[in-house]
Amino acid sequence: MPRYFIDTNCLIGLTFFHDRWHRDVTPLFENNRLYASEAVLYEYCNREDGDPPMPDDPSEFDISVDAVEGRYRQIRNDVEKKLPRFHRKVSRLAMDGLTIDGVVDAVIDHFEIRKQAEPQVAEFIEDYFEERALVERQVKAAVRDLVDRILYTSEENKGSLLSQMRIEKSQYHEMQKTREDIEYATDGWIQEEDFCILLDAVYLAKSGEVDKLVTGDGGYLHAENVMADRYDLSLIWAESEFYSDDLVYSEKESEDALKSHKQQ
């Protein structure tokens, strides 16, 4: 069974169905063994306002899988806060004439959703209006339901994922020689918080726990060659590895993938 170390943005991708990486990483959770470190969990749902991007010593972590801080809280809050302002935008759209494409484009723009997530957002809106009139009142209700779906599924997905993944203790503070080697090879291009996660992945690769790091973060591109050549750790780009042009978003398929992983 393949063993993958999961970067923070991949966790975010599966957690939020409106995220740019959602369709790319969903297949990852089928018949694979998944790992992360305390550093990943810190970014994902534990880092509070005012906390450092990454502590110098992971013993400073106060990690809980039940925490609702970090990027998880930030994304949920952002979606909730933008909903009331969207209602005013709908009124302006209605003056020019409502269309499904126009509503989808307005949602993508207003909620700052990346284009990669447009298929699942469009499908949600299209399904909603299969038997409803495309009028201002219903558009507001549709987007309110979309936000409710994002919030509900993110909570369900977070619980399912973290109950099944192996969360290993961070060891980045003990890897100074490795850090210096990678810094030299990458000319210092990797940000500190990403560096800590990368070092945790290298530690697990050395111990034989994982052999691949899955990420959507282009910041790791600078480390791709040195990881493969010196540390036997393959950097896997979520989009190129798992995405298929034939993949059509389905909420049921996404939920089935999570359930399948939970049963393993």
Alpha helices of 66-191 — where are they, by DSSP H?
A: 70-96, 100-110, 118-128, 136-164, 176-186
Indicate the SS3 state at residue 235: strand
Within 8 A by CB and 6+ apart from 20, the residues are 13, 113, 114, 115, 116, 117, 216
> Residue 160 region, left (φ>0) first, then alpha (ψ -120 to 50), else beta?
alpha
Task: Please tell me the predicted confidence (pLDDT) of residue 258.
Answer: 46
The Cα–Cα gap between 149 and 124 comes to: 10
- In the numeric block, which tokens belong to residue 64? 């809980």
Task: Please tell me the predicted confidence (pLDDT) of residue 252.
Answer: 44
Percent of the chain's residues with pLDDT above 70: 91
Model-level pTM? 0.87
Which of 56, 57, 63 lies closest to 42, judged by CA?
63
pLDDT at residue 257 is higher than 70: no
pLDDT in tens, 60-74: 998 999 999 999 999
The 8-class DSSP code of residue 44 comes to I
Rounded average pLDDT over 229-244: 80
Residue 216 or residue 57, greater confidence: 57
Q: How confident is the model at residue 241 (pLDDT cuts 50, 70, 90)?
A: low
Rounded average pLDDT over 243-257: 45
Lowest mean pLDDT among 154-163, 214-223, 251-260: 251-260
pLDDT at residue 92 is higher than 70: yes
Cross-strand bridge partners of residue 37: 168
The Cα–Cα gap between 126 and 135 comes to: 13
CA 199 to chain centre: 20
pLDDT in tens, 10-56: 999 989 999 988 888 888 777 788 999 999 999 999 999 999 999 99
Rounded average pLDDT over 150-170: 94
Indicate the SS3 state at residue 35: strand
Torsion angle, alpha carbons of 81, 87, 88, 89, to 10: 100
- In the numeric block, which tokens belong to residue 226? 């040195």
Task: Please tell me the predicted confidence (pLDDT) of residue 242.
Answer: 65
Task: Please tell me the predicted confidence (pLDDT) of residue 263.
Answer: 46
Q: How confident is the model at residue 243 (pLDDT cuts 50, 70, 90)?
A: low
The Cα–Cα gap between 245 and 65 comes to: 34
Rounded average pLDDT over 220-247: 78
Residue 220 or residue 127, greater confidence: 127
Q: How confident is the model at residue 255 (pLDDT cuts 50, 70, 90)?
A: very low
